[in-house]
Amino acid sequence: MSDRHNSTYNLTRWLFLRLIGLIYLLAFASLGVQVLGLIGSRGILPVADMLDAVSMMIGPEQYWYFPTLTWINCADSFLEFLCWGGAFAALLATLGLVSGPALAVCWLFYLSLVTVGGEFMSFQWDSLLLETGFLAMLFSPGQQVLAPPWRGPSSITRQSPPSKLVVWLVRLLLFRLMFMSGSCKLLSGDTSWRDLTAMAYHYWTQPLPTPVAWYAAQLPLWFQKLSTIGTFIVELGIPFLIFAPRRARIVGGCLLIGFQLTIAITGNYTYFNLLAIALCVVLFDDDFLQRIVPAFLRQQINDVTTVYRGATWRRVALAAIASLIVFAGVIELAESLLPIRAVRGLAAVVHGFVSPFHLVNGYGLFAVMTTSRPEIIVEGSRDGETWLAYEFPYKPGNLKRPFPWVAPYQPRLDWQMWFAALGTYRSNPWFVQFLHRLLEGSPDVLALLEKNPFPDSPPKFIRARVVNYYCSTWAERRTSGNWWRCEPQGEYFPAVTLSHL
C-alpha cells in the first residue's frame, strides 16, 4: 500500500454520492412522520407563525436570511410534500439516477425545512447534512449518459472525472468536524473532560442511550478514563492524518470509521454516524476500495469512461465556490480556537453570506458533559387532584423499559425534552406551546407521544415535574428488573388550564 500520486476516485465518488442519497432518504422519511406535529398548523411551532414574525422583524431581506420554499406555501400539505418529495429525490440519488439534480432537490428541500424548523431542526447533524449535501452536488458528475439498464454490465457511463478539489473540500469538512469536536471539550473548561471522568457519565446521561450503553456505564472508572483519553486522541490527533500521505491517511480513515461505529452502538444519534462515515469514504481512493468492496461495486470503475474534463465555466465556478468555502471554514475554525472574535471586515461579510445556507458551520458535540439526568414528566388532570402522565416513545419514563434502539430514526420531540430538562421552561418557549397543544388535544402533537392518558378528551389541567434519573447497577437490575432508578426533584411548570396559557 505504497503512497501514490495518481490516485483515482471514480468508485470513491460512486460510493460517497449514494451514501449521501441514503442519508437524505433516512432524514426526510424520519421527519415526514413527525413534521405536522412539530411545525404544522396544529403543531408545536407552526411555520406560518414563524414566517409572520420574520416578516415583521426583518422585512425585504427575509428571503435571504431565511431561505425556504415555505415562503411560497406553508400549508401542511406542502410541508409533507417537502418531506416526501425530498425522500423521492433522495431515492433517485441513492440509485444513481440523475444524481446531480436529485441531490440539488434534496439540498433545497432540506434547507427549506431546517430554516423553519426552529428548535426541532437545530441539531448539528442537520447543518452537517446540508454542508455535506452541498459538496455532494459539486462532486456529482458534470455529464452523465446512461445506456439502458437491460444492456447489462456492458453499459457505459460517460461523465466528467471526480474533482480532486471537491475531494479536498470534503476532507477539510471532516477535519473541522472532528477537530472542533475535540477542541471544544478542552476549551470549554469543563472539569469532567479535564479530569478524564467524562465518559463515566456519558453513556447514561446522553439523550437516547442504546441497550449497549447500559453495559458500558457499568465499566470501571479506570476504563472510562482510558476511553476519555482515547476520545481526545481520535478527535484531536487522528484528524491530522487526513492530510498525511496515502498509507497514513487510509489508516486514519479506518480509525475514524471505527470510532463512529463505537458511538453508534452506544448512542442513538440518528443518521449522524453514517454521515461521518460517508465523509471518511473520501479518504480512500479506488485502489484501496477495490480490495474491500463487493465485486458488483468494483464493476463501477470499469463502467466509467472519462470523455471530457468539463466546461471551463464549471471549473472556474467550482474554484470560486471552493475558495469561499475554505475561507469561511478557516474563520469558523479560528473562532472556535481563539479567545477573541476572529470575524472582521471582509471575513464577516463572507460569514454572513454562507450562514443562512449552512454552507459552512461550527461543530462541537458535548463541549460540556452532563453529569446528571433530569427528566421532565408531563402530567394532566381532569380535577386537579388525580394526575396521569403522558408517556414519550423513547426518552426515559417507565423504569423497567429497556434503553431503546432508535437510530437512524430521530424522535425530535424526545430529543428536545432532553435539552429542555437542562434548563427551565422560560428558556424553552416551545415547551409552553407543547403544553398548550396537549390541552387543546391536537391530534398531530399527540401522535408524537407513546401514550395519551386522556384518549376521549383533553385534560383540564396540565403540569410538569422534574425527576432525576440514574442508571441502575447490576444488583439493582437483578433485584427489580429496572434499567433506571429515579428521585423526584420538584416542579418544572406549574399546573395551569388552557385559559391560563
Question: Can you give the pLDDT at residue 500?
Answer: 83
Cβ burial, residue 267 (10 Å; 0-12/13-18/19+): buried
213 residue type, one letter: A
Q: Are 325 and 169 in contact (CB under 8 A)?
A: yes
Question: Can you give the pLDDT at residue 183?
Answer: 94
Phi, psi of 466, rounded to the nearest 5 degrees: -110, 130
Rounded to the nearest angstrom, the gap between the alpha carbon of residue 407 and the centroid of all alpha carbons in its chain is: 11
Which cell numbers in the block locate residue 231?
A: 476520545
What are the tens digits of pLDDT across the range 137-196?
999 876 444 444 444 444 444 567 788 899 999 999 999 999 999 999 999 999 999 999
Residues above pLDDT 70, as percent of the chain: 91
Q: Does the CA dihedral 281-284-289-290 come out positive or negative?
A: positive
> CA nearest 167: which of 279, 276, 282, 16?
282
Burial 89-105 (b: 16+ CB within 10 A, else e): bbbbbbebebbbebbbb
Q: Is the peptide bond before 443 cis (omega within 30 degrees of 0)?
A: no
Which cell numbers in the block locate residue 117?
A: 424548523
What are the tens digits of pLDDT across the range 32-90?
999 999 999 999 999 999 999 999 888 788 888 999 999 999 999 999 999 999 999 99
Query: Which residues lie across from 470 on neighbouring strands?
Result: 485
**CA distances from residue 121 to 28, 89, 383 in whole angstroms, order as listed:** 12, 20, 36
Choice between 332 and 490, residue whose per-residue pLDDT is larger: 490
What are the tens digits of pLDDT across the range 209-243?
999 999 999 999 999 999 999 999 999 999 999 99
R_g of the chain computed on alpha carbons: 24
Question: Can you give the pLDDT at residue 299?
Answer: 67
Distance CA 42, CA 40 (A): 5
> CA nearest 100: which of 8, 21, 9, 15?
21
Length of the chain as a residue count: 501
Cβ burial, residue 212 (10 Å; 0-12/13-18/19+): middle
What are the tens digits of pLDDT across the range 471-488?
999 999 999 999 999 999
Indicate the range of 216-225, 296-305, 452-461 predicted with least confidence. Answer: 296-305
Cβ burial, residue 203 (10 Å; 0-12/13-18/19+): buried
Phi, psi of 324, rounded to the nearest 5 degrees: -65, -45
Q: Where are the domains of the chain?
A: 10-357, 374-496
Choice between 151 and 460, residue whose per-residue pLDDT is larger: 460
Three-state DSSP state, 357: helix
Cβ burial, residue 154 (10 Å; 0-12/13-18/19+): exposed
> CA nearest 355: which of 52, 39, 64?
64
Rounded to the nearest angstrom, the gap between the alpha carbon of residue 117 and the centroid of all alpha carbons in its chain is: 13
**Got the DSSP string for 205-258?**
HSSSB-HHHHHHHTS-HHHHHHHHHHHHIIIIIGGGGGGS-HHHHHHHHHHHHH
Q: Long-range contacts: 142-147, Cβ < 8 Å, 24+?
A: 142/100, 142/310, 142/311, 142/314, 143/307, 143/308, 143/310, 144/98, 144/99, 144/100
Question: Can you give the pLDDT at residue 124?
Answer: 95
Question: Can you give the pLDDT at residue 297?
Answer: 67
Torsion of CA 408, 412, 418, 422, to 10 degrees: 130
**Got the DSSP string for 168-191?**
HHHHHHHHHHHHHHHHHHHHT--H
Region label for 248, one of left (φ > 0), alpha (ψ between -120 and 50) or beta (otherwise): alpha
Choice between 212 and 305, residue whose per-residue pLDDT is larger: 212
Distance CA 407, CA 396 (A): 16
Q: What is the pTM of this model?
A: 0.92
Q: Are strands 374-381 and 461-471 parallel, antiparallel or unpaired?
A: antiparallel
Q: How many CA atoms lie within 13 A of 430 on its CB side?
A: 23
Which cell numbers in the block locate residue 374?
A: 433530569
Distance CA 474, CA 357 (A): 48
Give the containing element (helix H, strand E) for 38: helix 35-39
> CA nearest 26: which of 123, 129, 131, 140?
129
Question: Can you give the pLDDT at residue 146?
Answer: 44
19 residue type, one letter: L
Q: Does the CA dihedral 207-180-65-131 come out positive or negative?
A: negative
Choice between 336 and 129, residue whose per-residue pLDDT is larger: 129
What are the tens digits of pLDDT across the range 345-390?
667 777 778 889 999 998 988 899 999 999 999 999 999 899 999 9
What are the tens digits of pLDDT across the range 242-292?
999 999 999 999 999 999 999 999 999 999 999 999 999 999 999 999 888
pLDDT of 1 strictly over 80: no
Residues above pLDDT 90, as percent of the chain: 74
Q: Are strands 157-159 and 304-306 parallel, antiparallel or unpaired?
A: parallel
